[in-house]
Structure 1
Amino acid sequence: MLVNVGTTYELDTPALLVVLNVMERNIERMARRFRAAGVGWRPHTKGLKVPQIAARLLEAGAFGVTCAKVGEAEVMANAGIRDILIANQVVGEQKIARLLSLLPRADVIVAVDSPENVDALDRAARERDVRLRVVVEVNTGMDRAGVEPGEASIELSRYVEQKPGLHYAGLMGWEGHTVKIADPAEKRMAVRKAVGLLTATADDCRAAGLPVEIVSCGGTGTYLITSGLSGVTEVQAGGGILCDVVYREQMQVEHEFAATILATVTSRPTPCRIICDAGKKAMSSDAAVPRPLVEGAVKSVRLSAEHAAIELEEPRSHVADPRPRQVPLTADARLSSSSRGPAAGSRRRRHASVTPASYGRHASHSRRGERHVSVMRASRQPQPPGRASRQRHASVMRASRQPQTAGASVTSASRQRHAGVTAASCKRHADTPFLPSAASRARA
């Protein structure tokens, strides 16, 4: 059910707007690539957050999702998504207990890279009489987490296979060190080398008698290459459905911008300077150079905690649009930083709110026939008092701080009450999209 909450100009700012029409085109572009390559698609949702968007990805051909942590997996599982890979190590009794509480309503897989973590997961699983699927993370050159390829990965895989509380599912890796290589031929070679370490280790594991079902890798910055490599069973690319400045200009991902930050002009101290209310807290601390969609050439942008200072090349006596939008620099942090509370959006100038995601996001539609997801800062939204109100509004609480179990305050009934924009409605309401200015669409 959609609940009318006004027009775009009645939205509080800063707010994250996602143009669903543009997002749909990006989804189809990626899905078409994976279908043609004959490889599975398990999109990473750490930068997407919204379960309705994840459901739309499943409709488009993805068979599961990837999450960065237990809190994100809880949100996806609560929304009915079953096949979930946590592409990180889960350590500590509390987090392991939350992880295992997702079974059996979700088929969760977790990455490991040490015998100690394997022991902890196995012990906790046996205590709860469940069996947890596990993949061994292989370091393919990024030098973050993961065991070394070859014999070390085989040994840890054998160790997992021996544990009665665990089910060995295969291997995963991430060639993140290759994504920003500028030269296409050099990048292709680097990706092939990194992924080759993973697939060769998978072959060695099979030769050692280990049942390698999953060989998972890739991201938006490399999916055009990894999807075509032999031995890869699934690719984790997800952020490309929204796209951003880094993907376009530093990773050679030719997708459209689907997400912008809506702001309000709060000051015009000089004819060349525009101050608006979307700063680092709205766009993430690493979003040093967002792309403002304002009239006139932009000379520079400076971000403070709550403000953006936009310097124009030429003076302008007035600002045509008092609610300018900015394309965020990075994909993964934008929903996390911009969306810590309830939100709204519209379709044909009528706005509606819907179920939030991990940190309380609401999906919706936007003005002039443009379909948007809009996410607003909780600090701008006063929270209703009282225990009953807290239960009614449990959707605005951080999932990572509220483990969602069968008895959690966010029940199936409450999810049904708030489910206003489903994947089906995303299809039904396809209208003319808002497109960034020509300057903002400049290719790398």
Structure 2
Amino acid sequence: MFSQLFVLSSRGDILVFRDYRGDVDKDTPDIFFKYIKKWKEENGAYPPPAINQDKTHFLYVRRNNLYFVGVTKFNVAPACALEVLGRVAQLCKDYCGVLNEESLRLNFILVYELLDEVLDFGYPQQTNTEILKSYVSNQPVGVVVGSDSSGTKRTLPSTAANKPIAVSLDSMKDQKYEIFVDLLERLTVLVASNGHTLRSHIDGSLVMRSFLGGNAEVHLGLNTDLVIGREERMVRGTGSVVLEDCSFHEKANLTDFDRDRNLSIGAQDGEFTVMKYRVAASDILNPIPFRIFTNIEDGQFPRSLRITVRIKCEMPVKSSGTNIVVRIPVPKTTISVSSEPLGAGSSTEYREPDKMYIWKLKKLEGGNEEQLVMKLNLSEVTKATKKEVNSVSMEFEIPMYICSGLQIRFLRIFEKGRPVSPYRWVRYITHSDSYVFRV
């Protein structure tokens, strides 16, 4: 399948490189990164996951600003190749605890050992975290996170358990007996300039990260009024949590699911997805968490514009969004951009090559709003200049908030038929997937 597999940082540095066949050039990482960089400059987005350059196929997945790339001269199935790359990225996360540049540098020996077990002469052999524990002997090196070089605390993504998989009996003795259950939702929203929602849906997943030794059975219950498929809504009535469709892990026991919405599954060590689901726009119970209002007007001086962007958080007071990033495109004739002073926890950055102004907020609580006033100096102004500011996009993370209304009623752990009480962590997290407001 693969002639080479390598991992690049966001700067193009080679973190991991494995040549399985020797039938392609050694400079493929440089060729790939130059292509990515050129495509982003010309199109303002990342290229498709399958690339062909000089009769050489590059297939890649991007995880946490890292590129996992497979190279081949053969006509492989793209979906299969991308699935393997995704599994390699997930294995690195399972064994290193977190997936970032530092964790791969500190654990490069462990990562190379994983690649040797996963791929043989470029062909995938085994990608199951639990099975690979029997063959991997190197110990993971922990990564310290939580503050930067200046000592300033950072808000970390709440989706990471940040704990590597134990790979030996000695480490198993010291390992905490615990399980993390995350209900994750990715929200897609497109709003017209008049405030009408054109498109919205939720892609959700129920993810477990287990450190129970692989011998426990997890029982959990979802909303009793949960409806699978819209046709059941007529029976259940309004106010029900409606999923357009859903799928479960192949080992999930659904014997009692239709009756009382309870399910059980054997908790294999590592991270695995118990359930995936989708919620249509008409079935989203909670309103969209943020609204963006943009106003564009002529500036104080000739060839200048004044852009005002206001973000309103429409969640309950007890909820708040974190790690917020707002992207505002500016006209191609923009020479410089400045903004009025912002409050604590906010920062701005102008990326001139991309003609994009970035506004970052550490936190925005429910019921509050923030405003950014931008002043643009332009080389020329035409009738189409204001139209180039056509949409404002937003990225965010909201802990303990779910738009669909789905909930976990209980979480019980059994071992050999008897209840046990490990550390249990249940988290609800909403992320933006594509969150765009047209201007």
TM-score by length of 2: 0.27
Structure with bigger gyration radius: 2
**Structure ranking higher in strand proportion:** 2
**Structure ranking higher in helix proportion:** 1
TM-score by length of 1: 0.27
Higher relative contact order (CA 8 A, sep 6+): 1
